[in-house]
Amino acid sequence: MQLLATRQESQLITHPNLDLRKYAGLWYEYARLPNGYQVDCTGEVTVDYDLQEDGTLEARFSCANSQCEILNAVAEMRPSRRFDPQDPAKLEIRFSSDWLSAPSSVWRDHWILYVDPDYQHAMIGTPDRRCLWMLGRSRIPDRMALQQMLRYAAQLGFRVNRVLRTGETG
């Protein structure tokens, strides 16, 4: 069983030639696979990536809960140190607080799987295919772009029948 998981992880393709300068900035979550990190996020979800001089990213997450309160978290992101040469689309993320149920000492995979040519839509996932996020620059989701990302995620082996549109609970 472990051999199969390793084989699947190795087949997950990340976005080629990712430009982190273009990727940086504000993104709105359009959809995601249910995960333990965002159980309290029932409204709008955003992430603002800020490229640092050393090539890492600071990520500021925000989401609304069912009481319309805004929850915030800050994370540090870096290229994964498990790959040589480094792939700018294979990132690791570590939260600076225990919000989102993520201990601050743990680095987790955060791979950028797709970005459209204009850097307006993106798809992020984990190599074990348990987590998946679909993002866009516009607050209003582009349905066609979202459908294209869902089709691509299905081709990559993600369980897209479980995807929640942002604002849905499950």
Condensed to tens digits (0 to 9), the pLDDT of residues 93-109 reads 998 865 555 555 688 99
pLDDT digits 0-9 by tens, 126-151:
999 999 999 999 999 999 999 999 99
Return d(Cα 155, Cα 12) in angstroms, integer. Answer: 10
**Residues written for the chain:** 170
Whether residue 71 is predicted with pLDDT greater than 90 in this model: the reply is no
Establish if 170 belongs to a structural domain: no
End-to-end alpha-carbon separation of the chain, Å? Answer: 28
Establish if 114 belongs to a structural domain: yes
Q: What angle do CA 78, 26, 104 make, to 5 degrees?
A: 40
Establish if 125 belongs to a structural domain: yes
Domain that holds residue 65: 2-165
pLDDT digits 0-9 by tens, 31-62:
999 887 788 888 899 999 999 999 999 999 99
Establish if 73 belongs to a structural domain: yes
What is the domain count for the chain?
A: 1
Q: Residue 59 has what pLDDT?
A: 96
Establish if 139 belongs to a structural domain: yes
Establish if 51 belongs to a structural domain: yes
Q: Residue 170 has what pLDDT?
A: 45
Establish if 31 belongs to a structural domain: yes
User: How buried is residue 33: exposed, middle or buried, by Cβ count under 10 Å (0-12/13-18/19+)?
Assistant: buried
Whether residue 77 is predicted with pLDDT greater than 60 in this model: the reply is yes
Establish if 48 belongs to a structural domain: yes
Q: Which residue has the tokens 């978290």?
A: 73
- CATH number of the domain within which 57 lies: 2.40.128.20
Look at 157 and 83; give whichever has higher pLDDT.
Answer: 157
Q: Residue 4 has what pLDDT?
A: 41
Return d(Cα 105, Cα 133) in angstroms, integer. Answer: 23
